[in-house]
Structure 1
Amino acid sequence: MSHALFSAATAITTTAPFTSTSSPHLPPSSLKPGQAYRLLSECTTARRLLEIHAAVLRSGIDHRTIVNFRLQKLYASFGCLEKTLILFRQTPDPNVFFWTNAIHAHACQGIRFTALLLFVEMLSSDATPNGFTLSSALKACRLYLGKAVHGYAIKQSLHKGPYVATALLDMYARGGDVEAARFLFDKMPEQRIVSVTAMITCYAKQGDLVQARQLFDSTSERDSVCWNAMMDGYTQYGKPNEAVILFRQMLKSNTRPNVVTIVIVLSAIAQLGCASSGKWVHSFIKNKHNRIELNRRVGTALIDMYYKCGNLEDACLVFNEIKEKDIVVWNSMIAGYAMHGQSQKALELFDMLRFNGLWPTYITFIGVLNACSHAGLVEQGRRFFHLMEKEYQMEPKIEHYGCMVDLLGRAGLIEEAYDLIQDMKKIEPDAVMWSSILSSCRLHNNMSLGEQIANHVVSKGIANSGTYVLLSNIYAAVGNWENVNWVRQLMKESAVEKEPGCSAIELGNKVFEFVVGDRSHTKSKEIYAMLDELGALIKAHGYVPNTDLVLHDLEEAEKEKALAVHSERLAVAFGLISTKPGTEIKIVKNLRVCVDCHNAFKLIAKVTRRKIVVRDRSRFHHFSEGACSCGDYW
């Protein structure tokens, strides 16, 4: 037994030696193998395991196979893999069960390299892998290594066993080889729930939600993992409403949700921005009968959901309720403050986490840099950007460069932002970064640099729909309609489609979506009547339509009409006719809210005496009494 492991096991008992009379909770100082095995079988904590291990060492029975193996399994179950490995290495001639346990423990903890090294080492030993060994090794395999293990399984005639077959299916599914996964699935004599779930996950990861749902619906017996796989597919591929509907169906099926289920559904609700649905799930968590603990993972998901639904106060309450906060919890709260424009609080939180001895991560710095960008805190942003490398030895990633380009561009320091992009050596700027600086060029009327950048991006073939739209904006702003038409033609030739703007509002646990000029709603007549009424009211309070934003060569009156039917205005008008006076209206838009609507909403909030909250692609805007929380800096 190594000195390090002996010390770990015995240190806990140095102040209270093991004796038969010292404590009813401690194992006796002299144990027989049967007694030790019984104590180990009843062990539920790592501390208790150390106590029992110390007694085992003092009794001199640590070499007994039944005791040694049980110790290794328990250390692995508590995540103490170093201790598991030490015991394994000191086991003479370990049999297949010892090897499999060691491989399985490391594979399940995501320590793939060690798991595979152990498997290769086992192949050179006297022990022969069985089906459980192969299924454990396959958990650690990526596609190219998994194929080699598959070949070995066929050679040893182990590939048809249910555990190996399912592990092979899972390996191919993780590797994105849908055809191979489906071939194995169809060959299975008995398609168990584990293999069905693996196949659903495979389809979902590839974005083939139709095939995933067909397989899901054809499965009569579903466990929580199966439900989670389908809900996660919907959440990851932009169908959050379907994920929430499926969660409600899951509850009706009497399948008990677990922590993973709750995290997935909260993520879906965060995408939708449905605060009432989020509160309902939160109350579900609070109900002790549902056995969902408010741990750090669930707490982080709740914080994320609340601030993305516009309820920053509720996010703060959850943050304060979490007892042992890790860096992920802090990161989520910093991001929440940043998204709501409360930049100083975000920076204060950064100082607090450092004071509490936590080490910031890359995500932490994205949060604080975003906070600086939303408030125009240029000097602080520069300081944090340099702090990453100087104090925390973190090399900035493309997201951090993107935040800095956005910060500098918004502040009018476009040349500095452009120089920063030019100075990037190891990272290639992406379309998002170029779109950010193009947006700044449009905002600050630097049309010459904007056109230069846009032409560069188009010529390199890295332009996205946003890049083309910004280039159109730049040309339209100076009345160059010929080039506006040229950009549209270029988009058509490149098969690039402009992402349509869509705004959503939740009323009565139902989400209503609107697009520009939408007349599909049953209350369309009332909605447009409200728009006309609002238009007259805000004009009386000084509203002047910003027709420069209309990218079409139209008469002024036509341009005004085009602005008045933007999706966010339709959603607000619907909210006004559907709720009682004084009710807060919350809108979620998939794109950045336009300048004209932003100006209009300030006045609409004033004349209607309502608070209007709009979440766009990058942040929240809280409109009240003729002003916005962003201070018009966005």
Structure 2
Amino acid sequence: MSTTPLTAINRAPISPPSPSTTTTTTTTTTSTQSVPSVDRFALLIDNSKSIPRLLQAHAALLRHGFHDHSILNFKLQRSYASLGRLDYSVALFRRTQSPNVFFWTSVIHGHAQCGLNDQALLYYTQMLIQGVEPNCFTFSAVLKVCPLGPGKALHCQAIKFGFDSDLYVRTGLVDVYARAGDVWSAQHLFDTMPEKSLVSLTAMLTCYAKHEKLDEARLLFDLMPERDVVCWNVMIDGYTQHGMPNEALLLFRKMLRAKVKPNEVTVLSLVSACGQLGALESGKWLHTYMANNGIRINVHVATALIDMYCKCGSLEDARLVFDRIQGKDVIAWNSMIIGYAMHGFSDDALELFNGLCKIGYQPTDITFIGVLSACAHAGLVSEGREFFSSMKDEYGIKPKIEHYGCMVNLLSRAGHLEEAYELVKNMKIDPDPVLWGTLLGACRLHGNTALGEEIAEFLVRHDLANSGTYILLSNIYAAAGNWEGVARVRTLMKNSGIQKEPGCSSIEVKNKVYEFLAGDKRHPKSKEIYTMLEEINGWLRAHGYTPQTDIVLHDLGERQKEQSLEVHGEKLAIAFGLISTKPGSTITIVKNLRVCSDCHAVTKLISKITGRKIIMRDRNRFHHFVNGSCSCGDYW
């Protein structure tokens, strides 16, 4: 940071302020009509809302001999910092002889406001060394930048100096413990506060929401006597960040009814929630709301919209937003590249990558996740190998676990299982469960039971197995007709307390999201849904459809296997979509697991029979079903 002296300051030496000096100056000022008073100068400084105006006020102050007036110098120091000229503020501070606690607090606060946390703490330490005792304002300023270690030391000092019960100091302490994840200490301090301000309530609310204690957060939120937009944002973002997007959207509607105006932070959380749900209608409504209510769609909001539209299945809307961004950064390019990749539009993703490089942007590690994912979805093995090499050799980007995951997915799905396995074994970082799961899934796809067993045994032996490991191994045994192996795996799961994640499919109709589990009958229109399902089954039989009962992982009779396939969640969601939307309109389904081969085949047929476009987002990618074909080319 520059601390070059101000020219104006150099024109007059600063002497230690004293009561007698201040009194004399004030008397002289008031007795001479041509010289402005201290109060006039103080008002002039307070009203200077730009650096040029403040410099003019500073020059006038010097011309009239107020260079050593402590109150005016304090105001100047504070104003320079608030207007972004911390260097000027520091220069004034360093020319103040024997600065009192207010000067020290001002310079600490200025550095804290600029995010210069270490410098703020250093000034606090220097103040103590100089023998100046902090006040409650000092603690409030410095606690904002404290990590847990120094925060605990400051907590002790606050008690020593008798400020620990001050409302603002106690709020700062709550915030220190909350930011560090020490929820118990934060809650203890909060509960023992004699009174609670909106700021302290918000600090505790943020603590709960950030650390996934959403029930406690909502209880506190509902009990708050007043709530500003920050409180609403904290609660909405808490739901969004911790996998409860439906609750985020419901709370937003409540926020609108409470006449609280959303801001950019609100819409960023909500756009993310819509993306998680695949709620295209809600996302479009939110986009329109921003335009109609003066919420500026800057590059950050626009990038969030691109991500949302891609996750909701509308690449057209995503590209429209992308093309309209003025001064788009590499993050916006990455979002569009990844969007094309997840939809299987690999040519578009790679074309956009070339465009990014052509205009001079440097690809990032995220860019290569999108590019490698595009190669994986299209089976572009040689291209993927080249990109993986170029990210290291040409761009100096060290591969992360996500890049290895893309390469393992690319190689193993294309049948290069041994090469993928060697890549995993030779990685310089530890493979994660997702990567192992990808390899196991490919073993099932290609019927390589031996390698699947070897990998699964390795994971179990090294305590790396999760529910996905057991399910994939069970799938491998089931596909091979080894029901004894399936039973053994299920016994292992039961003994280990591991449960399979239930499949769930959702669909948005009239801005409301409905979820369906396999065999679900909770929906109010359950009778109509199952009637539609029977009609669909008739269509399928007429078109020669044969259920793929070999994917059922239970040793059941053939008819029982067929019945279990008929009530998969995505089929129920499609049936509900057919009875709830206009003929010819697109149906969009979001599934938390990978779509099974039977549902994939059925959805292709339904798209042909009904003339509907059906978009399905599963755990891995998007499938666009049109007139009996899927955009994945049956390669997923």
TM-score between the two structures when normalised by the length of structure 1: 0.88
Residues 355 and 611 of structure 1: CA distance in aligned 2, closer, same or farther (over 3 Å): same
Structure 1 contact 81–105 (Cα < 8 Å) conserved? yes
Residue identity opposite 1:496 in structure 2: I
**Counterparts in 2 of 1:479-490, with a 5 A limit?**
479-490=481-492
Residues 378 and 528 of structure 1: CA distance in aligned 2, closer, same or farther (over 3 Å): same
Q: CA deviation at 1:32?
A: 13
Cα distance in 1 for residues equivalent to 2:480 and 2:124: 67
Q: Aligned to 1:514, what secondary structure does the other structure show?
A: strand
Deviations 1:383-407 (A, max 9, x none): 3323333333332222222222222
Cα distance in 2 for residues equivalent to 1:617 and 1:78: 48
Structure 2 contact 101–133 (Cα < 8 Å) conserved? yes
Name 2:575's counterpart in structure 1: 573
2:543 aligned with 1:541, yes or no?
A: yes
Q: Aligned to 2:394, what secondary structure does the other structure show?
A: helix
2:122 aligned with 1:120, yes or no?
A: no
Q: CA deviation at 1:450?
A: 1.1
Residues 588 and 111 of structure 1: CA distance in aligned 2, closer, same or farther (over 3 Å): farther
Name 1:10's counterpart in structure 2: none
**Counterparts in 2 of 1:203-602, with a 5 A limit?**
203-287=208-292, 290-425=293-428, 427-602=429-604
Residue identity opposite 2:528 in structure 1: E
Name 2:627's counterpart in structure 1: 625
Cα distance in 2 for residues equivalent to 1:457 and 1:197: 44
Name 1:13's counterpart in structure 2: none
Residue identity opposite 1:422 in structure 2: K
Residues 611 and 90 of structure 1: CA distance in aligned 2, closer, same or farther (over 3 Å): farther
Name 2:28's counterpart in structure 1: none
Q: Which deviates more, 535-544 or 516-525?
A: 535-544
Structure 1 contact 37–70 (Cα < 8 Å) conserved? no
2:185 aligned with 1:180, yes or no?
A: yes
Residues 121 and 386 of structure 1: CA distance in aligned 2, closer, same or farther (over 3 Å): farther
Deviations 1:335-355 (A, max 9, x none): 212222222222233333334
Q: Aligned to 2:184, what secondary structure does the other structure show?
A: helix
Deviations 1:227-286 (A, max 9, x none): 111111211222111111111111111112121111111111111111111111111110
Q: Aligned to 2:224, what secondary structure does the other structure show?
A: coil
Cα distance in 1 for residues equivalent to 2:56 and 2:359: 34
Q: Aligned to 1:621, what secondary structure does the other structure show?
A: strand
Residue identity opposite 1:212 in structure 2: A
TM-score between the two structures when normalised by the length of structure 2: 0.87
Name 1:145's counterpart in structure 2: 150
Q: Aligned to 2:570, what secondary structure does the other structure show?
A: helix
Q: Aligned to 1:392, what secondary structure does the other structure show?
A: coil
Q: Aligned to 2:505, what secondary structure does the other structure show?
A: strand
Cα distance in 1 for residues equivalent to 2:365 and 2:545: 43
Q: Aligned to 2:260, what secondary structure does the other structure show?
A: coil
Name 1:21's counterpart in structure 2: none
Residues 105 and 416 of structure 1: CA distance in aligned 2, closer, same or farther (over 3 Å): farther
Name 2:204's counterpart in structure 1: 199
Q: CA deviation at 1:91?
A: 6.3
**Counterparts in 2 of 1:4-19, with a 5 A limit?**
none
Cα root mean square deviation, aligned? 3.0
Residues 444 and 252 of structure 1: CA distance in aligned 2, closer, same or farther (over 3 Å): same
**Identity between Structure 1 and Structure 2 (%):** 57
Q: 1:136 aligns with which of 133, 141, 144?
A: 141
Residue identity opposite 1:625 in structure 2: N
Q: CA deviation at 1:441?
A: 1.1
Residue identity opposite 1:115 in structure 2: A
Deviations 1:432-488 (A, max 9, x none): 111011111111222211111011112222222111110110111111111111111
Cα distance in 2 for residues equivalent to 1:583 and 1:204: 38
Cα distance in 1 for residues equivalent to 2:107 and 2:385: 47
Q: CA deviation at 1:40?
A: 8.1
Q: CA deviation at 1:160?
A: 1.6
Deviations 1:569-594 (A, max 9, x none): 11001111222211111111111111
Cα distance in 1 for residues equivalent to 2:363 and 2:82: 29
Name 2:16's counterpart in structure 1: none
Q: 1:161 aligns with which of 154, 166, 169?
A: 166
Structure 1 contact 271–308 (Cα < 8 Å) conserved? yes
Deviations 1:195-232 (A, max 9, x none): 11111222222322221111111112001111111111
Q: CA deviation at 1:307?
A: 1.4
Residue identity opposite 2:136 in structure 1: G
Q: Which deviates more, 172-181 or 111-120?
A: 111-120
Residues 389 and 93 of structure 1: CA distance in aligned 2, closer, same or farther (over 3 Å): farther
Q: Which deviates more, 518-527 or 536-545?
A: 536-545
Structure 1 contact 503–514 (Cα < 8 Å) conserved? yes
Structure 2 contact 3–91 (Cα < 8 Å) conserved? no
Report how many aligned residue pairs link the two structures.
Answer: 604
Structure 2 contact 3–88 (Cα < 8 Å) conserved? no
Cα distance in 1 for residues equivalent to 2:103 and 2:406: 50
Residues 78 and 543 of structure 1: CA distance in aligned 2, closer, same or farther (over 3 Å): farther
Deviations 1:326-372 (A, max 9, x none): 23222222221222222222223333333444333332222222222
Residues 313 and 450 of structure 1: CA distance in aligned 2, closer, same or farther (over 3 Å): same
Residue identity opposite 1:633 in structure 2: Y
Deviations 1:74-127 (A, max 9, x none): 665566767766776676655544543443344445443343333333332354
Rg larger for = 2
Cα distance in 1 for residues equivalent to 2:365 and 2:56: 41
Residues 478 and 526 of structure 1: CA distance in aligned 2, closer, same or farther (over 3 Å): same
Residue identity opposite 1:372 in structure 2: C
Residues 183 and 357 of structure 1: CA distance in aligned 2, closer, same or farther (over 3 Å): same
Residues 125 and 574 of structure 1: CA distance in aligned 2, closer, same or farther (over 3 Å): same
Name 2:17's counterpart in structure 1: none
Q: Aligned to 2:589, what secondary structure does the other structure show?
A: strand
Q: Aligned to 1:511, what secondary structure does the other structure show?
A: strand
Cα distance in 1 for residues equivalent to 2:153 and 2:78: 28
Cα distance in 2 for residues equivalent to 1:179 and 1:449: 47
Q: Which deviates more, 190-199 or 522-531?
A: 522-531
